[in-house]
Structure 1
Amino acid sequence: MMWANKKTFLFASTALALSMVAGAAHAGGFALREQSAYYQGTSFAGNGTSGETISSMFWNPATITAAGKGLTFESHSSFIAPQSDLNGVFTPQGTVNTLTGGFGRSTAPSGDIASNAWIPSTYTSYGLTDKWYFGLAINTPYGLATKPEQSWAGQYYSRSSEVFSVNVNPTVAYKVNDMVSVAAGLQVEYLQIRLKSAYPLAASLTSSVPSTEVKGGSLGFGATAGITIKPMEGTEIGVGFRSAVFHSLDGHFINPASVPAVGVSSSRTGIEANVILPEMVTISAKQRITDKFRVLGTVEWTNWSRLGTVHLSSTDGTTTNPTGLPDLAFNYEDGWFFAVGGEYDFNDQVTLRAGVAYELSPIDEDIRSTRLPDNDRLWLSAGATWKPSEHLAFDVGYSHLIPADTQINIGPGHQDYNANIGTYTADVESQVNIISASLRYKF
């Protein structure tokens, strides 16, 4: 019976770990959209078209052909200040109910689980000739962290969550003529996760429950491609593609320190799993209305539905190594993002911009977890550019995100539910403020 409980809990903890979620992520699922201070100001409308910034290469590498010959460098920083509070009820069942003597029900709030974060990105392009261009982008496409109060009501489903990534993306672009440019590139991505949960075999009413830890990392590869088309003067259409990135996570699961009351000793088990992060297609348009005013639009699709089933396996051959780990169902839906915006040249040095967007999350109440209380959201943004010289420019952008009403309902039928732990239901109160800034210089 004890062996079965250990296997069940390892499965539940690893399932949460390998979902690689961060409750404060802001591009649906656990991705980060904040890759450009320039387009932050338009809610990322027009982010796949060319313009004053080369940060659009994250979504469409063909846009760097607008930078011209010579070297261009940009450094972007986004400061994300999210707030997310889970107020709900945990009702123990199975092992937890037994170990707490039937008195383990809890309404302890999570506190603010979302952590503030700084998201950096850099972009470099070099125009070798009028036709050939080379680019390099360094980004953090996935990440952020959550950390509720230590002994909150949902502690058996999550405590802390940390996700870190770095993506290096060299690209080559070719300007076919004044109407068409094309590009392709390589993604080299490092991903690391670290997640903790309370250990149900050490449930207690009188002391803090110890934590399990799951940690893993991987180096994965993918590709990017894009095209820009200018069918007439003042009109541009851009289509960008970021491929799926294949990761083979290698890591470990650690049980807490010895718990004599239930006869459980600490252990370390190697785990591995193959995970494919989703591809993304961005379609953008820009239309000049007057010499000073332009309207922008973007539709983006992310193939989150490929995160359906992940097979877990153990890498240890010791007697403490659990066997027969089942497959994990994520059942994400595809993510969609729709944005419209505009920019106005106030004078030769200052450009003003604004935008609104609506994002359809790949996660709904049927699968929403305590680690990722994600939902549909409204984006409201504004920004500006100051260009003191021909070679130097500064961008600022601000966004306020308003999520839809959000609930968590972990019970029978939910993919995170564990009958040895119990049920958890909650209302989620959240909002997000983002401030971005960048420096652009052309040598």
Structure 2
Amino acid sequence: MSRYLTITIASLSSLLIASSAYGGAFAVREQSSWYQGLSFAGNATHSKSLSSMYWNPATMTGHEGWQGETSQTVVFPNATVSLDVATIDLIGIPIVDVPYSSGDIGVDAWVPASYSTWQANDRVTLGVSTNAPFGFETKPRIEWAGQTYARSSRVLTVNVTPMASVKLTEKFSVGAGVQVEYIQVRLKSAAGVPPIVPKAPTVELRGEDNNLGVGATLGALFRPWEGTQFGIGYRSPIEHNLKGRLVVGGDPPLPIRATIVMPETVTVSFQQELTEEWRGMGTFEWTHWSRFGTFPVFNLQGQMVADLPFQYNDGYFLSLGTEYDFHQRVTGRFGLAYEWSPIDEHNRTPRLPDSNRFWLSAGLSYFHNEWIEVDVGYSHLFPESSNININPAHPAYEGITIQGPVKNTHVDIVSVGGRLKF
């Protein structure tokens, strides 16, 4: 039983990652209906959309008066873990009497985002954004060969970032902001599998950061000549001190705590006017996932209960997109992207069947009048085939073997947003 508790606590690391298998590790990328249609190409440069301030606060410069924007995105994932081998100890006793397939672990998710800016004067613009930068849900069938690792997973975050931008010259602007973030984690697993535990009780782990995590965001925007933009944005690491409990069946809860640090992200974008109606743009993003090593978990007496082994690689994202003004009221856009996941066969778990993926996106904006605009965006993701290869030498699962393919068949993302200008 103690080994199962260690596995369950170690799964907290996988839970955080499974929260957003659609933005590279657990970073939810879907923060903008406008840029959804571009596969997020050019998202750190200035456009009619306020949402670029999420990646680069300097892009607020140029938004006149008061403006507000909302983005509502729904993600439709589909993924199945189909195990070939599943054993529970060094002797190699196979797991029996339960399906070796997880079924579809994807859970449809809603990702909201909102933005607001106010032009204080000709040079200074103030703004605030509200986002869910981390958060998703996976849910395999209750009884399956991997039930000691995953019965359900859920993460919820809320990030509020007040920020300001300053136009230093006609060609150069800078911006900065303070991130305030809340996180809540919920994990359910089983304390065993048949035939060792015929009716395995549920092991539930809950944790949240009651003190809120604090970080920074910085950015710069450069317009060397008319029609050309270069932008760079930085979102800092955020430390979360989680407190929660671990409950096995009807046993009394065990209070636990853990400190985790979300990785920093750097986004670099360009935008180029090709004609008066046609624009091209691109983005490269780096996320410092390799800072995720191993984090200890303690009880309230300060005794270490388990380690959270991550050992991830850095994550990378590259996209190219284009926009065309078909009419003064209608703009269409298209984008392609490729994402290198920080997860590979050496650190992939049943809670995180994440892999490299190709993006294909399209979108449309309708400018009803001078103060109402509507955006729609759609993306179809093509995940690459991948495998889970947990064996007795794996740092997280002593004496356990789980091996088999992951069928990440597809992900569909639909986003609708709009802006009001005063």
Cα drift, residue 309 of structure 1 = 1.5
2:388 counterpart (394, 397, 408):
408
1:217 corresponding residue in structure 2: 208
Residue matched to 1:32: 28
Flag structure 1 segments of 5+ consecutive residues without an equivalent: 258-265, 318-322
> Which residue in the other structure is 2:186 paired with?
194
Q: 1:63 aligns with which of 59, 65, 76?
A: 59
Question: Aligned partners of 1:93, 1:120: CA distance in 2, in Å?
Answer: 40
For residues 312-327 of structure 1, what are the structure 2 equivalents within 5 Å?
Answer: 312-316=297-301, 323-327=303-307
For residue 239 of structure 1, the aligned residue among 232, 241, 245 is 232
Retained in 2: the 8 A contact 1:91–1:106? no
Kindly indicate whether residue 279 of structure 2 is the aligned counterpart of residue 294 of structure 1.
yes
Offset of residue 209 of structure 1: 1.7
- Say which one has the larger Rg: 1
Alignment of 1:199-278 (within 5 A): 199-200=191-192, 203-204=194-195, 207-218=198-209, 219-257=212-250, 266-278=251-263
Q: 1:257-286 deviations in whole A, cap 9, x for unaligned?
A: 3xxxxxxxx131111111100100000000
Q: Find the counterpart in structure 2 of residue 433 from structure 1.
A: 412
Matched with 1:147 is 139
Structure 1 residue identity aligned to 2:337: A
Q: TM-score, normalised by structure 1?
A: 0.91
Q: After the TM superposition, which of the residue ranges 293-302 and 107-116 deviates more from structure 2? A: 107-116
Cα displacement string for residues 296-346 of structure 1 (whole angstroms, at most 9, x for unaligned residues): 0000000111111102111159xxxxx543433210111000000000000
Instruction: Show the 5 A alignment for 1:17-416.
Output: 17-19=12-14, 20-22=16-18, 24-68=20-64, 70-94=65-89, 104=96, 106-200=98-192, 203-204=194-195, 207-218=198-209, 219-257=212-250, 266-316=251-301, 323-416=303-396
Q: Distance in 1 between matches of 2:79 and 2:407?
A: 6
Is contact 2:297–2:304 with CA below 8 Å preserved after alignment?
no
Residue 31 of structure 1 aligns to which amino acid in structure 2? A
Q: Give per-residue Cα distances to partners, 1:192-231, cap 9 Å, x unaligned.
A: 100011102x744795321101110012010001000000
**In structure 1, what residue type is equivalent to 2:184?**
Q
Q: CA RMSD in A?
A: 1.8
TM-score normalised by length of structure 2: 0.95
The Cα shift of 1:27 comes to 1.0
Q: Find the aligned partners of 2:92 and 2:311 in 1 and give their Cα distance.
A: 29
Distance 1:411 1:60 in 2: 42
| Alignment match, 1:261 | none
1:176-196 C-alpha deviation (Å, 9 max, x unpaired): 121011111000000010001
Q: 1:208 & 1:385 partners in 2: Cα distance?
A: 54
How has the CA–CA distance of structure 1 residues 77 and 135 changed in structure 2, closer, same or farther, with 3 Å as cutoff?
Answer: same
